[in-house]
Structure 1
Amino acid sequence: MSQPDDSAYHNPRRVHVAGFLIFLGAAVVVLAGLAAAFSGLGSRWDWWRFQAGFTILQWSVVACAGGTVASLIGLLSAALQREGRLALRAVPAILVGLAILAYPLSLLEQASSVPAIHDITTDTQTPPQFQAVVPQRAAAMNEVAYPGGDTAARQQQAYPWITPLLVDRTPHSVFEAARRQVEAEGWALHTADRAAGRIEATATSFWFGFKDDIVVRITETDDGRTRVDVRSASRVGISDLGVNADRVHAFLTALEERLRG
Structure 2
Amino acid sequence: MKVLVSIISLIAFLLVALSGPLYKYGVVELGTAFAGFKFGVYTGIAALVLFALQVILKRKTITIGSAVIAVVFSAIAIIVPISMMSKAKDVPPIHDISTDLVNPPSFVAIAPLRADAPNPVEYAGIEATEQQREAYPELKTLTYSQSQPMLVKATEQAINNLGWELVNTDADTGIIEATDTTAWFGFKDDVVVRVTDNGSERLVDIRSKSRVGGSDLGKNAARIHALMDELDVVLNK
User: Which TM-score applies when normalising by structure 2?
Assistant: 0.95
Check if 1:52 corresponds to 2:28.
Answer: no
Indicate if the aligned counterparts of 2:165 and 2:179 stay in contact, CA closer than 8 A: yes
**What is aligned with 2:7?**
27
Work out the CA distance in 1 between the residues paired with 2:139 and 2:4.
49
Runs of 4+ residues over 3 Å off in structure 1: 87-90
Aligned to 1:202: 179
Does structure 2 conserve the Cα–Cα contact (< 8 Å) formed by 1:72 and 1:94? no
May I ask how many residue pairs the two structures share in their alignment? 236
Distance 1:187 1:29 in 2: 36
Q: Which ranges in structure 2 are unaligned for 5 or more consecutive residues? A: none
The residue number in structure 2 matching 1:212 is 189
Structure 1: any 5+ residue segments left out of the alignment? 1-19
* Structure label with greater radius of gyration: 1
**Aligned twin of 1:147:** 124
> Conserved in 1, the CA contact under 8 Å of 2:192 and 2:207?
yes
Of 67, 73, 80 in structure 2, the residue corresponding to residue 91 of structure 1 is 67
Number of the residue aligned with 1:174: 151
* Residue from 200, 209, 219 that aligns with 1:233: 209
Distance in structure 1 (CA, Å) of the matches to 2:71 and 2:112: 47
Does the 8 A contact of 1:183 with 1:189 survive in 2? yes
Deviates more, 1:133-142 or 1:111-120: 133-142
TM-score scaled by length of structure 1: 0.86
Map 1:1-261 → 2, pairs under 5 A = 20=1, 22-79=2-59, 83=60, 86=62, 88-92=64-68, 93-222=70-199, 224-261=200-237
Counterpart amino acid of residue 57 in structure 1 = F
**3-state DSSP class of the match of 2:118?**
coil
**What's the offset of the Cα at 1:89?**
4.8
Offset at residue 90 of structure 1 (A): 4.3
Percent of residue pairs bearing the same amino acid type: 33
